[in-house]
């Protein structure tokens, strides 16, 4: 068995382990024998080596973090604890998904935050009150709204389908962009009486925005400014090893996943249990291994891990996402295009009237856009981000984070995310209000 095959198995198993509690012990033992040569995930290369003193300090921080009650507080409870009001809203999409929106009401203009793959609105909070973007915006007086894409923990209802139907999970970020975003944006504008809002997306939150404004160009007028944190559209140069490998085996992975009824790639309850108890356990070592799992998926800059906050972060992420979302990304890695889901030649002909999927018409996007990217980002490689910049008509700021190792997850949770990223985000938003 080749190294590549093994990586694919690790990849699939990671998700099966967390999604299918009824995997037989036979399969489990087969898997563990396959994994043996790898010993542990912690042997992966790191981009930072700690000194003895840092290890000591990080351990103390992590231990202090373990008794932080925030680990067990819900998003709304966190918002209240740190002195803000919250509102919970619901909107039904044209295809029946019941999406939840969370608001920290303010008197100012609306800023709408959209999370990434396997994430939820809580990810804008778990960095803590001093540097969580939702708090920083609320403190600056904005009316903060946070969306939740179909399939995540907070939007796992459909008035026509049950989330145990595989039909419920038959969506990608294409549907999130074409159907979820319009429903949420219209609802927010209706409710607040404002005529446009500022949109901030992280990762898939940016992809869905690009889909929206290409497919429904009338939404360009409803968004006055866009901040793209770790923008993802073209993906040919992704350096995340697992995503790359998954891309090479996309058909197999999709077929296996489907056959196993594996629709939700990050069913929160089981994954949370595994991450926090088995992996994040109660020691510094366990926590670094845990970081490595996250590291595998979105990459971490080890110099930027906030150890005190990791227990809080990992108890709130990941949230749900469909397998099709992940496969759609894998297709972009493979094809090098930013285009619709590839169903194979014959189904493409029926669905799109062409043998290959059509590309998104990003030239229709006119919203003034600020792009933040980083050299160390495993999912949004600077070469691919440059492709986005050159295809958009109205890029008003193009900013490389001033720390080379800064990675994908760091845009939410880095120790210095405020000074490295968010201070500039707040300045840009203030300057670009209508
Ligand atoms: C470790 O913590 C001590 C006490 O807070 C501090 O004085 C020291 O600078 C820290 N060392 C490092 C490398 O961060
Ligand atoms: C949407 O979900 C919320 C929360 O579960 C619920 O209160 C509301 O009635 C639902 N809306 C519809 C139309 O089912």
Atom of ligand 2 nearest to the CA of 159: 14
Residues 67 and 167 in one domain: yes
Q: Residue 386: CB within 6 Å of ligand 1? A: no
What is the best residue among 98, 154, 155, 163 to mutate for testing ligand 2's pocket, by most ligand atoms within 8 Å of CB? Answer: 98
Atom of ligand 2 nearest to the CA of 90: 1
Residues 149 and 297 in one domain: yes
Task: Give dist(CA 45, CA 210) in Å, integer.
Answer: 33
In the prediction, which pLDDT does 239 show? 67
Indicate the pLDDT class of residue 57, thresholds 50, 70 and 90.
confident
Indicate the pLDDT class of residue 254, thresholds 50, 70 and 90.
low
Q: Residue 60: CB within 6 Å of ligand 1? A: no
Q: Residue 278: CB within 6 Å of ligand 1? A: no
Q: Annotate 392-428 with DSSP letters as a single string.
A: -S-EEEEEE-S-TT--TTHHHH-TTHIIIIIHHHHHH
Distance 99 CA to ligand 2 centre (A): 9
Within 6 A (CB) of ligand 2 lie 90, 92, 98, 157, 159
Is pTM, for the whole model, over 0.95? Answer: no
Residues 31 and 79 in one domain: no
Residues 12 and 124 in one domain: no
* Residue of 50 and 229 predicted with greater confidence: 229
Angle among Cα 198, 203, 207 to the nearest 5 degrees reads 75
Residues designated catalytic = 203, 408
> Tens of pLDDT along 37-53?
433 333 334 445 667 78
Is the bond leading into 195 cis (omega within 30 degrees of zero)?
no
Distance 123 CA to ligand 2 centre (A): 23
CATH of the domain at 221: 3.40.50.1820
Residues 86 and 11 in one domain: no
Atom of ligand 1 nearest to the CA of 56: 1
Give the residue whose CA is nearest to atom 7 of ligand 2. 90
Distance 188 CA to ligand 1 centre (A): 45
Count structural domains, the chain: 2
**Residue 82 CA: distances (Å) to CA of 24, 86, 109, 128, 219:** 44, 11, 21, 9, 34
The three-class DSSP label of residue 50 is coil
Q: Which long-range contacts (CB under 8 A, 24 or more apart) does 70-75 make?
A: 70/126, 70/128, 70/312, 71/311, 71/312, 71/315, 72/315, 74/122, 75/102, 75/120, 75/121, 75/122, 75/125, 75/154, 75/316
Task: Give dist(CA 399, CA 377) in Å, integer.
Answer: 13
Residues 166 and 260 in one domain: yes
Distance 135 CA to ligand 1 centre (A): 28
Q: Out of 5-14, 59-68, 293-302, pick the least confident.
A: 5-14
Q: Residue 52: CB within 6 Å of ligand 1? A: no
Q: Containing domain of residue 12, as a range?
A: 1-42
Give the residue whose CA is nearest to atom 2 of ligand 1. 57
Residues 17 and 51 in one domain: no
Distance 355 CA to ligand 1 centre (A): 60
- For 268, the token pair is 């929160």
Determine contact, residues 323/265, Cβ cutoff 8 Å: yes
148 alpha carbon, closest ligand: 2
Distance 278 CA to ligand 1 centre (A): 29
Residues 182 and 224 in one domain: yes
Residue 185 DSSP class = H
Residue 358 DSSP class = P
Give the residue whose CA is nearest to atom 6 of ligand 2. 90
> Tens of pLDDT along 1-50?
333 344 444 545 444 443 334 444 544 554 455 444 433 333 334 445 66
Task: Give dist(CA 299, CA 159) in Å, integer.
Answer: 36
> Tens of pLDDT along 169-223?
899 999 999 999 999 999 999 999 999 999 999 999 999 999 999 999 999 999 9
Residues 32 and 125 in one domain: no
Indicate the pLDDT class of residue 250, thresholds 50, 70 and 90.
low
Residues 33 and 155 in one domain: no
Give the residue whose CA is nearest to atom 7 of ligand 1. 57
Task: Give dist(CA 214, CA 358) in Å, integer.
Answer: 12
Q: Residue 50: CB within 6 Å of ligand 1? A: no
Q: Residues 362-391, buried b or exposed e (16+ Cβ, 10 A)?
A: beebebbbbbbbbebbbbbbeebbebbeeb
Give the residue whose CA is nearest to atom 11 of ligand 2. 98
Residues 51 and 29 in one domain: no
Residues 106 and 215 in one domain: yes
């Amino acid at each position: 068995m080749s190294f590549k095959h093994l990586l694919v198995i690790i990849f699939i198993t990671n998700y099966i382990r967390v999604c299918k509690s009824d995997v037989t012990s036979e399969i489990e033992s087969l898997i563990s024998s396959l994994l043996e040569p790898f010993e542990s995930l912690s042997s992966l290369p790191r981009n930072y080596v700690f000194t003895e003193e840092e290890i000591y300090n990080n351990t103390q921080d992590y231990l202090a973090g373990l008794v932080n009650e925030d680990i067990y507080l819900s998003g709304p409870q966190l918002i209240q604890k740190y002195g803000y009001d919250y509102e919970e809203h619901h909107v039904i999409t044209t295809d029946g998904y019941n999406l939840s929106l969370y608001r920290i009401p303010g008197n100012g203009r609306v800023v709408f935050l959209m999370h990434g793959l396997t994430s939820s609105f809580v990810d804008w909070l778990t960095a803590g009150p001093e540097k969580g973007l939702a708090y920083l915006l609320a403190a600056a007086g904005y009316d903060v709204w946070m969306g939740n894409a179909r399939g995540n923990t907070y939007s796992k209802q459909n008035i026509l389908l049950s989330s145990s139907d595989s039909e419920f999970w038959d969506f990608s970020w294409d549907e999130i962009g074409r159907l979820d975003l319009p429903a949420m944006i219209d609802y927010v504008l209706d409710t607040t009486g404002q005529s446009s809002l500022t949109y901030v997306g992280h990762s898939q939150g940016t992809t869905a925005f690009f889909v929206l404004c290409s497919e429904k160009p009338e939404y360009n007028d409803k968004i006055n400014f866009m901040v793209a944190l770790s923008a993802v559209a073209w993906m040919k140069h992704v350096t995340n090893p697992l995503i790359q490998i998954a891309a090479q085996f996309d058909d197999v992975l999709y077929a296996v996943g489907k056959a196993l009824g594996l629709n939700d790639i990050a069913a929160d309850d089981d994954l949370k249990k595994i991450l926090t108890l088995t992996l994040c356990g109660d020691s510094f070592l366990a926590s670094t291994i845990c970081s490595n799992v996250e590291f595998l998926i979105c990459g971490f800059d080890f110099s930027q891990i906030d150890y005190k906050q990791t227990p809080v972060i990992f108890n709130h992420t990941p949230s749900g996402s469909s397998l099709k979302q992940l496969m759609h990304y894998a297709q972009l890695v493979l094809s090098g295009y930013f285009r619709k889901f590839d169903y194979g030649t014959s189904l493409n002909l029926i669905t799109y009237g062409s043998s290959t999927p059509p590309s998104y018409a990003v030239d229709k996007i006119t919203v003034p856009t600020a792009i933040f990217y980083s050299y160390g980002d495993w999912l949004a490689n600077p070469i691919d981000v440059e492709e986005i910049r050159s295809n958009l008509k109205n890029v008003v700021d193009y900013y490389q984070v001033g720390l080379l190792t800064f990675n994908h997850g760091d845009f939410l949770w880095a120790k210095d995310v405020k000074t490295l990223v968010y201070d500039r985000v707040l300045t840009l938003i203030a300057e670009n209000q209508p």
